[in-house]
Amino acid sequence: MSDFGALSSLGAGSGVLTYDVIDKLKNADEATMITPLQTKLTNVQNKENALTDLTTQISLLKTSISDFKDGAIFQKRTLDTTGSSVTAKVEDGVAVQSISMDVTQLAQNDIYQSNGYDSKDSKINSTGSDQTIKLNYGGQETEITIKDGATLSDLKDAINDADIGVVASIIDTGSDDDPYKLVLKGNKTGADNIIKLDYGNIDDLGFNQTVYQSAEYSADTDKVNDSGDTQTFKITVNGTDYSMDLADGATVSDMVDAINNGELKDSDDNSLAGVSASFEDGHIKIHLQDIGDVSIDDTNLTTNMNDNTDFDANDNRVQEAQNSIFKYNGVEVERDSNEVTDLVVGLTMNLASTGKTTINIKQDTDSIEQSVQDFVSGYNSLVSKIQDLTKYDPDSKTTGLFQSESAIKSIPEDISRLLFSGFANSTTTKTDLNGTEYTANTLLNASDFGFTMNRTGFLDFDSTKFKDMLENKPDETEQFLVGKSDDDTDNGAFGKVLDYIDSLTKGSNSTLELLSNQYKKEEDSYEDNIKSNQEFIDQKYQIMAQQFASYDEMISSFNNQAVVLQQQIDAMIHSK
């Protein structure tokens, strides 16, 4: 029942002018003035939703071939590697090529371990005063103060706090005797990144266990200098020269005493710290605490230490800093790292082990073929959707939402026309009747690249045919899909399709955006008309209800008067 406020007794007087009568009249008006508009509103709202779905599907179709717009997809690269000594990563655009790598040496960082200690808190400065040590790494040197009574753990922290590129750690080797060792590790690889540590004024940590050994002598009275002139003996430690003169006729004993007495001095008259010498087993033996670059020059002396010292005997140098060495396409190359990025711009090669590896940089044809497959699938899905939206069923007389929208019905035809109107120039070698070869120009179209249109309006795609063209005629394939022209415009098939899709979806004046705006205006118009008609009907029947109430009251009054009159008549009849 309609809500007409206080008119709750409508029909009480007449029994005729009731709410049911008003409701029936109102429903009849709504069926005439509201229902058709609501049907049209629902239809246009369905069109808006369908148009949104259609626009999304067209955008997905665009995404599948967007890399063809500027030919970027033809710059995609993939790697085919034979061998395990090198792994590689390539960026798009790198020239297609084959690279041979023969790795003979990997780059390493410097690693040292100290002698063993029974505890992390073992003292390493027992001199009675603070001491200064020098830590040099990769040419950068810093001085570190080691407090009197400092422990192995204190030294570790001091080296790490220096932040020079050397990481110190203490490891527990698990040995029953003196299991704790200080380990120094350089962060960088390369022969120039060696650890140099001058710690001669604190306890010998045992980092340098190489014993420099002379030629063999029968007694400590044998001469080390029988040249006839004074000669210089020199030890260079981490770039600093320490030297002493040995007179003609100097003996093994003279040399040992001179070293132990601090006669090896630098240019500022500072003695080489942490060095000692002895005569054992027929050889002069020199011990050094410092680690890093150490070289001995004993020219014109009989000691010949460089040929008698086993430089591989230092077990506490766990790993020696060195460069990587490899042959790149037959040319020997040396680098300070195992990551090589400067030989081919956009190619990163990581040396993993010694051995040979071949790296083939190829065009990523799989990506190209997959994108084309995605386009064909997307196009066929779009065709199926548009066919459903524009169909007409003569039996049921039903139509699709866009059956009358020519702009939508023409989309598949427009795209296929652009695809099949594309072409590429090609040259082939032919032979005439005389057996003479000549070059002929031909035009290649979509069918040459595996595209065909079947009778149902869907695209068929021969991927084998396409991949064959991509492999044997890559330039023609790129020209067909992307286009290559003197004025730098896109004249390839996919370039044209992309431009067409933009005309459908991109910008306020695009085809589908204009259609969407049209539907929104229609929706607004229908909603306004429904609202105004509903207000008109509501007002009309509000007035009618009030009129019915007045009529009903009059009828009720007449009825009451008729009853009184009838009673009077009945009384008069009975009185006679």
pLDDT tens figures, 44-85: 999 999 999 999 999 999 999 988 888 889 999 999 999 999
Structure tokens at 229: 């002139």
Over residues 491-534, the pLDDT tens digits come to 789 989 999 999 999 999 999 999 999 999 999 999 999 999 99
Cβ atoms of 424 and 477 within 8 Å: the answer is yes
Residue 280 has pLDDT above 70, yes or no: yes
Q: What residues contact residue 553 under an 8 Å CB cut-off, 6+ apart?
A: 13
Q: Measuring CA to CA, which residue among 429, 401, 414, 420 is closest to residue 502?
A: 414
Average pLDDT value for residue range 113-136: 94
Cβ atoms of 253 and 266 within 8 Å: the answer is no
Cβ atoms of 362 and 80 within 8 Å: the answer is yes
Q: Measuring CA to CA, which residue among 359, 361, 360, 355 is closest to residue 102?
A: 355
Cβ atoms of 352 and 84 within 8 Å: the answer is yes
Q: Measuring CA to CA, which residue among 168, 107, 89, 100 is closest to residue 348?
A: 89
Rounded to whole angstroms, how far apart are CA atoms 13 and 555?
6
- HEC letters along 308-346: HCCCCCCCCEEECCECEEEEECCEEEEECCCEECCCCCC
- HEC letters along 376-443: HHHHHHHHHHHHHHCCEECCCCEECCCCCCHHHHCHHHHHHHHHHCCCEEEEEEEECCCCCEEEEEEE
**Per-residue confidence (pLDDT) for residue 489, from 0 to 100:** 52
Q: Which residue matches tokens 């010292």? A: 309
Residue 567 has pLDDT above 90, yes or no: no
Over residues 386-444, the pLDDT tens digits come to 999 999 888 888 888 888 899 999 999 999 999 998 888 887 777 777 777 777 788 89
Cβ atoms of 317 and 291 within 8 Å: the answer is yes
282: Cα separation from own chain's centroid: 65
Cβ atoms of 494 and 65 within 8 Å: the answer is yes
**Per-residue confidence (pLDDT) for residue 488, from 0 to 100:** 46
162 vs 10 pLDDT, higher one: 162
Phi, psi of 255 (to 5 degrees): -70, -45
- Enumerate the β-bridge partners of residue 437: 431
Q: Is the pTM of this model over 0.85?
A: no
**Per-residue confidence (pLDDT) for residue 120, from 0 to 100:** 96
Rounded to whole angstroms, how far apart are CA atoms 10 and 89?
89
Rounded to whole angstroms, how far apart are CA atoms 136 and 291?
10
Domain borders along the chain are: 19-33+513-575, 38-72+366-506, 77-104+328-359, 109-319
Structure tokens at 461: 């795609």
Structure tokens at 12: 């009480």
Residue 8 has pLDDT above 70, yes or no: no
Beta strands at 195-198 and 131-137: parallel, antiparallel or unpaired:
antiparallel
Residue 462 has pLDDT above 70, yes or no: yes
Rounded to whole angstroms, how far apart are CA atoms 289 and 208?
6
Cβ atoms of 81 and 358 within 8 Å: the answer is yes
**Per-residue confidence (pLDDT) for residue 159, from 0 to 100:** 96
331 vs 204 pLDDT, higher one: 331
Phi, psi of 561 (to 5 degrees): -65, -40
